[in-house]
Amino acid sequence: MNLSDPARSQRLDALAAEYALGTLPARTRARLARAALGDAAVASAIRGWELRLAPLADGVAPITPPPWIWQAIAARLGMTADPTLETSWWTRVALWRGLALAGFVTAFALAITLLAPRQEELQQPIVAVLADKDGKPALIASAQRGERFMTVKAVGVATPEAGKALELWLLPTGAAPRSLGVIPAAGVSRVTLAAPPEIALAQIPALAVSLEPAGGSPTGAPTGPVLYTGKIERMY
Amino acid sequence: MAETSPDRKALHAASRNERLSGLLSRVALKDQSAFAALYEQTSSHLFGVAVRIVREAPAAEELLQEAFVNIWHHAASYDASRSQPFTWLNTIVRNRCLDWLRRRELLTVPLATEEDEGGGFEPPSGDPTPEEMLLNGADAHAVRQCVETLDAGPRQAIALAFYQGMSHAELAKHLRQPLGTVKSWVRRGLEKLKRCLDHAGFARN
């Protein structure tokens, strides 16, 4: 960016203004943000406008976010010293409770799954958000068509006590739950599917996670309380 | 101009900024209790900002989480000589929300109905209009006088874009004006705002 050229610097300022205001379309917005990383003139034009418009944000009335958000942030950052996570509700959760609440979260997860990745990754996924009985999301499960695994990301899971493990289940219509194996309480993991998801999950309306002895249920059926449940949503 | 409330507001803002600066510098050193205090003191405001921009509670909830994760990781890059802490935090949240909104417009995803039914956001009853927020926000600052010099069209367009994240196309639809008209309202409005602010000595950088 040649600052000695007044027309260019004026154009840069106009772009920076609309960047800070928010009206730039996605691609221009991304291009300008990238340019700011290597070009001090661009960075300074943007910062100038962010400062100019900043006082306007004071006029916004605060809205208290739901309390689980703090817990989710702490969980994402691996901050374990959070006393609010040590509650006992999850020892008494009925299997299907939370499904309705999780539904609206799922809609959002679909949007995220579709929007957040690069466009070439948008391949008709199957998604489920597993939430606790209060609708607080705990795990996001997704599977791409044609692949043989499901990716499970823990976004707000209470770490199980020693000697216990989390087990993931398929909940087929009119049949007993089928195990997908034990999953970790943090991070991203993969569970193997017997067939590509469009087949393996064809008659499966929902997933659930139960608390089991370390190593998984000894009986092949869930023995512990169900902690999280979520409806499977298909994008095709 | 012998109003007392702008002064009180300015004082309040100054002490708030001092407090937040201290917290941010401790967060930069990975102090978890400072991070918790920072969240406690700013999350309601930032959530208010996010919810109004993305207009969907679930999206705002996710974006607020991402913003705070980002703040935790990047607190060390906060430079007190360049911006006030509150401005810095606000900018992180606004940019995240705007990125999300604008990116979504690239992909027309047929989820509108579901979102409209499920996570739609209704502004709290008694919520001021974007234009009222514009004037409230500008209280205590030279900004208010400058905002008042804008014509009604540009003022409304800038308010809706700033507080509700509206794109040019949405502004045109909402204000029932041709796209070219709202684009020029926004552009000329911002130019006028800048001239006025710079004239009033609002050059903070």
Token pair belonging to A47: 């910062």
Cα dihedral A42→A43→A48→A51 (10° resolution) = 150
Interval B87-100 mean pLDDT: 94
Q: Is A199 on the interface with B (CB under 8 A)?
A: no
- pLDDT at residue number A87: 33
The whole-angstrom distance between residue A155's C-alpha and the CA centroid of its chain comes to 6
The whole-angstrom separation of Cα B37 and Cα B24 is 10
Residues within 8 A of B (CB atoms), A 22-51 only: 22-27, 29-30, 44, 47-48, 50-51
CB-based contact B8:A30 (threshold 8 Å): no
Note the pLDDT of residue A124: 57
Measure the CA–CA gap between B114 and A212, rounded to whole angstroms.
Answer: 35
Mean pLDDT of B107-115: 44
According to DSSP, the β-strands at A178-183 and A164-171 are: antiparallel
- Whether B184 and chain A come into contact, CB under 8 Å, resolves to no
Please tell me the distance from the alpha carbon of residue A81 to that of residue A150, in angstroms, as a whole number. Answer: 30
Query: What residues of A are in contact with residue B166 (Cβ under 8 Å)?
Result: 23
- In this structure, what DSSP letter does residue B123 have? P
Q: Is the ipTM of this complex over 0.90?
A: no
Q: Which residues contact B176 (CB under 8 A, 6 or more apart)?
A: none
Compute the nearest-CA separation of B60 from chain A (Å): 9
Summary mean pLDDT of chain B: 82
Q: How far is A145 from chain B (nearest CA, A)?
A: 18
Amino acid at B69: V
Per-residue HEC secondary structure of chain A comes to CCCCCHHHHHHHHHHHHHHHHCCCCHHHHHHHHHHHHHCHHHHHHHHHHHHHHHHHHHHCCCCCCCCHHHHHHHHHCCCCCCHHHCCCHHHCCCCCCCHHHHHHHHHHHHHHHHHCCCHHHCCCEEEEEEECCCCCEEEEEEEECCCCEEEEEECCCCCCCCCEEEEEEEECCCCCCEEEEEECCCCEEEEECCCCHHHHCCCCCEEEEEEEECCCCCCCCCCCCEEEEEEEEECC
Confidence grade of residue B123 (pLDDT, cut at 50, 70, 90): low
- B71's enclosing H/E stretch is helix B57-74
* Structure tokens, A143: 């599977």
Q: What is the pLDDT of residue A116?
A: 41
Please list every residue in chain A whose beta carbon sits closer than 8 Å to the beta carbon of residue B9. Answer: 58
Predicted model pTM: 0.59
B58/B7 Cα distance (integer angstroms)? 37
Tens of pLDDT, residues A105-140: 444 444 444 444 333 333 457 888 899 888 888 998
**pLDDT class for B114, splitting at 50, 70, 90?**
very low
Please state, in angstroms and rounded to a whole number, the distance separating the CA atoms of residues A205 and A222.
17
